[in-house]
């Protein structure tokens, strides 16, 4: 019996990062970089795999829809087959949804036989007689194909408190700086998405029981909505030693999804936008280190708030009220959160490795 070999997603991410670093190092040390075909990627003549990406703009209408996910996958597979000039009769095509409305697709010759199947754990783990090294070579070939026109990656860190106009700047001014179809890292977006799965809105994702030392605290607190009170599973959250069990589970899921999104940024092939507050140096350093993109251009986009924290608090409250009226979902940023972020703000400095720092004036001052 042929034993299936498996490459876990964690191993795959590590392999891809290592290969991208090797590519970048070779490009930097060569007088003729990859984009000018300094050297040839591994031979693909015998490989029965075809990979690529389909964007929503490739078709007459968007192919991203959560309510018709299966139908959209079929559309993506047909578009991929047409793009590559292959037939769905000759190839088994699989397309997986990616962030931003695009799809990552792989076609495999359907004439390989029953033994050349994929393990249930990962579409990247061929089973059968292939050795682990052959599997790794296949993945490396996929990387080379995806990076055929590799250019220096751009990473934008948006720096500023909530309600300062970061999302609006991306929409209006982003394209002028190369931010087109960006790969966005946003903990707020993840919190909303994961909250939906658990039936929690943004505010409920941060609900907590009465804490030790506070009036009314008891050891037997329980909530019909949020579960039983348990010890805080995150050691670094020392200011919140007790949490609701359902909220803790949802928060852990959100953090895991956020980690996955950050880990995949370097291989997205798109400009990366970290749409978070990024107000302190340590947090920025951790984010850049985790993205771990080789041969990247690092850009800080600094949003001025005209030292008007009260305006930000008022603006945030108005936005929260509008959101609730439209969706029935809450997203409240406490006034003390603004005070804490602004009080601990550390402006970006040259020793952080910025290639460029863009300063954006306060929008409410600029528009006067």
Query: For the residues 248-255, what does the mean pLDDT come to?
Result: 94
Mean pLDDT of the chain: 77
Q: What's the pLDDT score for residue 134?
A: 58
| Residue of higher predicted confidence among 112 and 50 | 50
* pLDDT for the residue numbered 3: 42
Helix boundaries (H) for the chain: 9-29, 69-84, 132-146, 166-173, 187-198, 245-264, 281-291, 309-327, 335-343, 363-366
Write down the residue that tokens 């959100």 correspond to: 254
> What is the band of 54 on the pLDDT scale with cuts at 50, 70, 90?
confident
Listed range (24-28, 47-51, 118-122, 258-262) with the worst mean pLDDT: 118-122
Question: Where is mean pLDDT largest: 21-30, 74-83, 236-245, 275-284?
Answer: 275-284
- Over 70: is that where the pLDDT of 9 sits? no
Give mean pLDDT, residues 231-239: 87
* pLDDT at residue number 199: 93
Please report the pLDDT score of residue 70 as a whole number. Answer: 39
Percent of the chain's residues with pLDDT above 90: 49
- The per-residue pLDDT for 119 is 36
* pLDDT score recorded for residue 35: 39
Separation CA 262–CA 131 (nearest Å):
30
126: pLDDT strictly greater than 50? no
Joined tokens for residue 127: 């089973």
Mean pLDDT computed over 168-196: 93
Q: Is pLDDT of 157 > 50?
A: yes
Q: Residue 90: pLDDT band by 50, 70, 90 thresholds? A: confident
Phi-psi region of 120 (alpha: psi -120 to 50; beta: other; left: phi over 0): alpha
Which residue intervals of the chain bear CATH 3.40.50.300? 153-366
Which of residues 234 and 221 earns the better pLDDT score?
221
pLDDT number for residue 81: 85
pLDDT band, very low/low/confident/very high, at 358 (cuts 50, 70, 90) = very high
Q: Can you tell me the mean pLDDT for 91-104?
A: 70
Q: Which two tokens stand for residue 352?
A: 């952080």
- Helices 187-198 and 245-264 cross at an angle (nearest 10°) of 140
What pLDDT score was predicted for residue 87? Answer: 83
CATH of 153-366, one of 3.50.50.60, 3.40.50.620, 3.30.200.20, 3.40.50.300: 3.40.50.300
The yes-or-no verdict on residue 288 having pLDDT over 70 is: yes
Which pLDDT belongs to residue 272?
95
pLDDT score of 249:
94
Given this model, what pLDDT does residue 95 score? Answer: 72
Region 170-190: mean pLDDT is 93
* pLDDT score at 19: 62
Chain segment 272-284, per-residue pLDDT in tens: 999 999 999 999 9
DSSP 178-237: T-SS-EEE-HHHHHHHHHHHHT--TTGGG--PPPTTSTT--TT-EETTTEEEEE-S-TT-
Question: Which residues lie below 8 Å from residue 4, measured CB to CB, with a gap of 6+?
Answer: 119, 125, 127, 128
Cα–Cα dist 100/121, whole Å? 25
Alpha carbon distance 261, 250 (integer Å)? 17
> Is the predicted pLDDT of residue 29 greater than 60, yes or no?
no
């Amino acid at each position: 019996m042929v034993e299936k070999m498996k490459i876990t997603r964690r191993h795959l991410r590590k392999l891809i990062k290592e290969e991208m670093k090797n590519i970048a190092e070779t490009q930097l040390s060569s007088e003729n970089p990859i984009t000018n075909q300094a050297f040839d990627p591994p031979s693909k003549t015998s490989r029965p795999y075809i990979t690529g990406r389909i964007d929503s703009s490739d078709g007459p209408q968007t192919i991203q829809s959560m309510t018709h996910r299966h139908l959209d996958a079929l559309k993506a597979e047909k578009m991929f087959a047409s793009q590559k000039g292959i037939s769905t009769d000759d190839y088994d095509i699989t397309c997986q949804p990616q962030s931003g409305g695009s799809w990552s697709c792989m076609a495999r010759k359907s004439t390989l036989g029953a033994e050349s199947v994929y393990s249930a754990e990962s579409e990247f783990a061929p089973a059968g007689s292939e050795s682990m090294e052959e599997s790794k070579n296949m993945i490396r070939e996929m990387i080379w194909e995806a990076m055929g026109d590799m250019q220096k990656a751009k990473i934008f860190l948006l720096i500023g408190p909530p309600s300062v106009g970061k999302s609006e700047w991306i929409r209006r001014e982003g394209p002028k700086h190369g931010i087109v179809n960006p790969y966005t890292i946003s903990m707020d977006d993840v919190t909303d998405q994961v909250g939906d799965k658990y039936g929690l809105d943004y505010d409920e994702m941060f609900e907590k029981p009465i804490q030790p030392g506070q009036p009314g605290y008891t050891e037997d607190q329980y909530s019909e909505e949020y579960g039983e009170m348990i010890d805080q599973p995150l050691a670094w959250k020392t200011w919140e030693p007790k949490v609701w069990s359902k909220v803790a589970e949802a928060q852990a899921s959100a953090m895991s999804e956020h980690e996955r999104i950050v880990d995949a940024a370097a291989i997205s092939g798109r400009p990366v936008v970290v749409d978070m507050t990024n107000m302190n140096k340590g947090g920025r350093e951790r984010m850049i280190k985790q993205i771990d993109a080789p041969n990247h251009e690092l850009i800080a986009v600094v949003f001025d708030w005209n030292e008007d924290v009260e305006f930000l608090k008022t603006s945030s409250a108005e936005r929260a009220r509008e959101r609730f009226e439209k969706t029935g979902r809450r997203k409240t940023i406490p006034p003390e959160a603004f005070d804490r972020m602004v009080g601990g703000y550390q402006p970006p400095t040259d020793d952080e490795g910025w290639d460029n720092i863009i300063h954006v004036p306060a929008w409410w001052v600029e528009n006067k």
